Chains A and B, each alone.
Chain A
């Protein structure tokens, strides 16, 4: 193990984080995802600024896709809110898993508010990968810098997709929409070092569609609870026997 990374000041850590963001593979992933979402926004008659503000406020691609595709179609507001909140359940365990990595002995609650809002798939995967090698006191500014870099990338490419949309043939538009699941799949797999993570991924891939076919209510929530708990139990049993 190499020595933990340290920085000279919080702003140095912030900019190192931002640099990590713009040079990471997620930069391409986010660019592709938000070009797709920009195209979607254009198709549903919302404005490019509406998308940019939703990227900053909502900051979750699945929730944004649900919002964009329902808000202009006259769906019941309760229905939209329910769909969004179900798509966002995954953020809860992410925050729970991330906070102990960020928090040091002197961390105040208000220092954690920004990383909490920034929590999303890209940032979560990269934080769990990178933060453990950084000294505790620099983790929050590094994480904020990285997240700000990702958010800015997403906002800019939302505009790009919005203005590309007009001229894009349907097949290429389909290809843009395919970027989201592909990049999410492989970035999650890349981060899955432990058996626990691999099992959670495989079980979720199987149980998710199964519950959808069976038309189970709140299918994503059940996918997480069943798949995640099974993976966890297998992990515990393996730990106990070795």
Chain B
């Protein structure tokens, strides 16, 4: 392959298998949302579906981690997530406090128990 093409190849892939398959859902949502209002039942249902999908992504990232996070034991990841969430609830729903507590627990546990 010619060198310029080699250099542009990752950008081409980004558009082809990254941008387009990602953006299609946004455009689809825009087209379908015309004529709907905030309280319509489809919108309420859509919000519940979006929340559940996001929750699924969250659980998968914690339970079936990849890369550097996978080197930290599953039990440490789960306990750190639960601890972080409890601190979040205790600290009047402060995302910052919760994330910080979870990170400290993860790093401490990872330091002690990583293989």
Contacts and interface: CB of A to CB of B under 8 A. Distances in A.
Is B truly associated with A?
yes
Interface of A: 25, 28-29, 32, 40, 43, 46-47, 50, 53-54, 57-58, 60, 62-64, 67, 69, 71-72, 77, 80-82, 84-85, 87-101, 109, 112-113, 116-117, 119, 121, 124, 170-190, 192, 196-197, 199-209, 211-212, 219-221, 223-229, 231-232, 235
A97 B55 contact: no
B30 A71 contact: no
B49 interface: yes
B59 to A, nearest CB: 4
A180 B61 contact: yes
Contact of A67 (B18, B24, B43, B55): B18
Interface string B36-58: 11101011111111111111111
Given A58-B14, A181-B61, A175 B106 contact: yes
Nearest to A43: B67
A196 B44 CA distance: 9
Main secondary structure of the interface of A (DSSP, over half): helix
A119 B50 CA distance: 12
A3 B85 CA distance: 34
A80 B17 contact: yes
- B contact face: mostly helix, strand, loop, or mixed: helix
Contacts of B48: 196-197, 199-200, 227-229, 231-232, 235
A176 B88 CA distance: 19
A67 B17 contact: yes
Given A183-B95, A190-B93, A97 B110 contact: no
Given A67-B14, A174-B69, A96 B52 contact: no
Contacts of A203: 52, 55
Interface in B80-95: 80-81, 84-85, 88, 93-95
Q: 3 smallest A-B Cβ distances: which pairs? A: A204-B55, A95-B29, A208-B56
B27 interface: yes
A228 B49 contact: yes
Given A71-B13, A91-B22, A170-B71, A99 B57 contact: no
